[in-house]
Amino acid sequence: MTVRVQTEDFDTGLEIRQLSQARHDIGAVVSFVGLVRDLNSGDVVSQLTLEHYPGMTEKSLEAIISQAKSRWRIEDALIVHRVGTLRPGDQIVLVITCSSHRGDAFTACEFIMDYLKTEAPFWKKEVTPLGEHWVEARTSDDKARERWDVHRDLCTKQIK
């Protein structure tokens, strides 16, 4: 498992090759890339600053991957999250999951993003024509995370 917090941009193709090369047990690689949008909650965003909690961030991302590994058959996973100043169109976050079959890789990738959005200590501050403001957390992100609890309960019931 790899977790990195960095100011520099990332190359998804390179990261995928590094994760999967020389491994013939991996049959599926799923990647998610998050980008900075120029419009958020009706405001035109010209710039974004990302702050994080060094130390806790890395632990929290590792814990999220571990949780995903305990629920699905993931051979390897990677999270790269950028911090500092970003502009619309810039890449913010990369999640890659590798598995022997696509189902687990798809599901685990979505699970990791939903948990990252609600548990990893990052905060966004936007610059708009009206000035700077901290981005508010969305209840839709909490709901997206909560559905994984329901998903687990359903799976447990099916096994019983």
Partner 1 sequence: MKIKLFYFARLKETLKYSTEDLALPDETFTVLKLKAHLAKRGDVWEQMLMGKLKVRAAINHELVDDKATIADGDEVAFFPPVTGG
CB of 57 to partner 1, least distance (A): 8
Q: What's the length of the chain?
A: 160
Q: Binding of partner 1 at residue 9 (CB under 8 A)?
A: no
Q: Is 50 in the site for partner 1 (CB under 8 A)?
A: yes
Residue 119 makes contact with partner 1 by CB under 8 A: yes
Rounded Cα distance between 12 and 33, Å, is 8
Q: Does residue 60 belong to the site contacting partner 1 (CB under 8 A)?
A: yes
Residues 48, 86: contact at Cβ < 8 Å?
yes
x/- map, 68-97, partner 1, by CB under 8 A: -------------x----------xx----
**Least separation in angstroms between CB 114 and partner 1:** 9
What does each C-alpha distance from 86 to 4, 13, 50, 108, 125 come to in angstroms?
17, 21, 8, 27, 10
Chain centroid to CA 70: how far?
17
DSSP symbols for 124-150: EEEEETTEEEEPPPPHHHHHHHHHHHH
Sign of CA dihedral 110, 123, 34, 100: negative
Cβ of residue 101: shortest distance to partner 1, in angstroms?
A: 26
Q: Which of residues 125-154 bind partner 1 (CB under 8 A)?
A: 125, 134-137
118 near partner 1, rule: CB under 8 A: yes
Site residues (CB under 8 A) for partner 1, limited to 27-46: 34
Residue owning tokens 């120029």? 38
Residues that bind partner 1 (CB under 8 A): 34, 50-53, 55-56, 59-60, 81, 92-93, 113, 116-125, 134-137
